[in-house]
Amino acid sequence: MSEQQVKRPNIIFIMSDDHAAHAIGCYGSRINETPNIDRIANEGMRLDNCFCTNSICTPSRAAILTGTYNHVNGVKTLSDRLDGKQLTVSKLLQQNGYQTAIVGKWHLGHGGDSDPTGFDFWSVVPGQGDYIDPSFIEMGQTIKVRGYATDIITDKSIDWIERRDKEKPFFLMCHHKAPHRPWIPDEKHAHMYEDIDIPEPETFNDDYSNRASAAAAAEMRIDRDLTARDFKMEPPAHLEGAALKSWKYQRYIKDYLRCIASVDDNVGRLLDYLDREGLTEDTIVIYTSDQGFFLGDHGWYDKRFMYEESLRMPFVIRYPRKISQGTVSNHMVLNVDFAPLFLTYADIEVPESMQGVSFHPIVEGDNSAGWRTSMYYRYWMHLSEHKVYAHYGIRTEQYKLIYYYADALGTLGSEDEPKTPEWELFDLKKDPYEMINVYNDPDYERVVAVLEKELHRLQEEVGDERFVYQG
Ligand code: CA
């Protein structure tokens, strides 16, 4: 088939909530198996350095839809709503002949300009949504559906594909609520892992020494900050210390992984459906998550930090017409790049206002053109839930430089209690788990100078403002 005869592809974007790459088989998980998500990677490409530009739900979703950084799209925090009047990838696809739908988690506000726009069909859970018998806001009407959220979101997705006009390509965002806290599994997976112990991560007993103050100040510790609600029972009274911490980790991680088992089953159901309908060749299928998550790493759950486990998004993509089977890329791809990628494959010009770049050459294995070698990150919600300090930073192939400017700067959902700013530098080659801050190590003086310059260059490039400490 010649280039002209290739039909514009369908695009199915499956995104879960808080699913870290290190809980996916093809990313080398030590704690679970995900045969169906792996199937996408085996039949396409796995991206090992896909990063979010702000590791928190609502902002990442806004970056994906608009192709812009959060200081541009206005969704910096969980308390912000998306102003739907701005340009989004769904609107552009809809205006250019695609049938469009979103099913599942939205989390960008409801009512007025914050309801989904650019979608022919939308059926989204209000706010975080429920795992069991969830409500949906479907084209403005609230309905309640009996069953388990992950199954229902897949049913609704398949049902919409089934009802489409077969003459036109489609774009579907299938957004799972799982595996977000409070990690409630379905009955089918409720007893998985019952008789085994899930291995604890390398940094499980991190004492937060050799780091800036932010790590020790964060309130997302497995042993201290999870509650009986998370465990679905009171911890056994006879346990204490390390034994109690291990018990808590097992309760937490098993429910998290059970939720993922259902997501993986449902990814398989969708892939099987595409096979049955003869849609596999002409459909781009992606599996990702809005950000990463700490799975006991550094003794934590949750995300927000620019550390690897939370920064990294899983990203596997299959498109048999263009992407070779079983390929892997280390190029740095960001959530703001997704919209430009979809538009490029849909043969629509990427608007100037989008800040991301289409990475179709990367997924097609064409490494001839230049590509970014550093990325910019910013987390605004100073001392909000989990008490993480506001910070920004850059990551290159080998290094990560983080600046905890630690000031609310009037940001919604933040606390106006500034801390003294601090820097962290990690040598990811020598210290992949980011346990030793080498910012003040004389051996890294030159590296620091180069990275600071690059950080400020990137800030200028994306149009964000540098923090100037008035101390
Ligand atoms: Ca999330």
The pLDDT of 136-156, averaged and rounded, is 98
**Domains annotated on the chain, with CATH:** 3-185+250-374 (3.40.720.10), 379-462 (3.30.1120.10)
Q: How many whole angstroms from 52 Cα to the centroid of ligand 1? A: 11
What ranges make up the beta strands (E) of 40-144?
45-47, 50-51, 99-105, 121-125, 135-138, 141-144
Q: Is the per-residue pLDDT at 356 higher than 50?
A: yes
Give residues whose Cβ lies within 5 Å of ion ligand 1: 17-18, 57, 290
- pLDDT value at position 1? 44
The number of residues making up the chain comes to 471
The CA dihedral of 359, 14, 251, 299, to the nearest 10 degrees, is: 20
Q: How many whole angstroms from 18 Cα to the centroid of ligand 1? A: 4
Q: Is the per-residue pLDDT at 6 higher than 70?
A: no
CB 156 within 8 A of CB 139: no
pLDDT tens digit string along 96-106?
A: 999 999 999 99
Contacts 24+ apart (CB under 8 A), 442-446: none
pLDDT tens digit string along 216-229?
A: 999 999 999 999 99
Q: How far apart are the first and last CA of the chain?
A: 65
| Average model confidence (pLDDT) across the chain | 97
299: nearest Cα among 208, 410, 371, 174: 208
pLDDT tens digit string along 311-325?
A: 999 999 999 999 999
Strand order in the sheet with 315-318: 141-144, 135-138, 121-125, 99-105, 170-175, 10-16, 283-289, 315-318, 45-47, 327-329
Q: How many whole angstroms from 444 Cα to the centroid of ligand 1? A: 34
The first and second tokens of residue 31, run together, are 């704690």
Q: How many whole angstroms from 202 Cα to the centroid of ligand 1? A: 23
- The HSE-up count of residue 295 (CA atoms within 13 Å, CB side) is 28
Q: Which percentage of the chain shows pLDDT scores above 90?
A: 97
Q: Is the per-residue pLDDT at 290 higher than 50?
A: yes
- Kindly report the CA angle at 433 between 300 and 373, in degrees rounded to 5? 120
Amino acid at 408: A
Q: How many whole angstroms from 36 Cα to the centroid of ligand 1? A: 21
Q: Is the per-residue pLDDT at 41 higher than 70?
A: yes
The pLDDT of 47-67, averaged and rounded, is 98
Which pLDDT band, with edges at 50, 70 and 90, does 5 fall under?
Answer: low
- Looking at the DSSP assignment, which residues form a beta bridge with residue 283? 10
The first and second tokens of residue 220, run together, are 């997302």
Q: Using omega within 30 degrees of 0 as the cis cutoff, is the peptide bond preceding 179 cis? A: yes
CB 434 within 8 A of CB 426: yes
Tell the residue number behind the tokens 């179709």, with chain if given. Answer: 360
Bigger pLDDT: 208 or 2?
208
Q: How many whole angstroms from 263 Cα to the centroid of ligand 1? A: 15
pLDDT tens digit string along 107-140?
A: 999 988 899 999 999 999 999 999 999 999 999 9
Q: How many whole angstroms from 180 Cα to the centroid of ligand 1? A: 7
332: nearest Cα among 312, 352, 353, 304: 312
CB 15 within 8 A of CB 174: yes
The first and second tokens of residue 374, run together, are 């550093």
Phi, psi of 262 (to 5 degrees): -70, -40
Q: How many whole angstroms from 377 Cα to the centroid of ligand 1? A: 16
Q: Is the per-residue pLDDT at 72 higher than 80?
A: yes
Q: Is the per-residue pLDDT at 2 higher than 60?
A: no
The first and second tokens of residue 156, run together, are 């609704």
- pLDDT value at position 368? 82
The first and second tokens of residue 411, run together, are 């940001």
Distances (CA, A) of 443 to 435, 438, 440: 17, 9, 9
Locate all alpha helices (DSSP H) within 280-390, ordered by sequence. Answer: 308-311, 338-345, 360-363
The pLDDT of 375-403, averaged and rounded, is 98
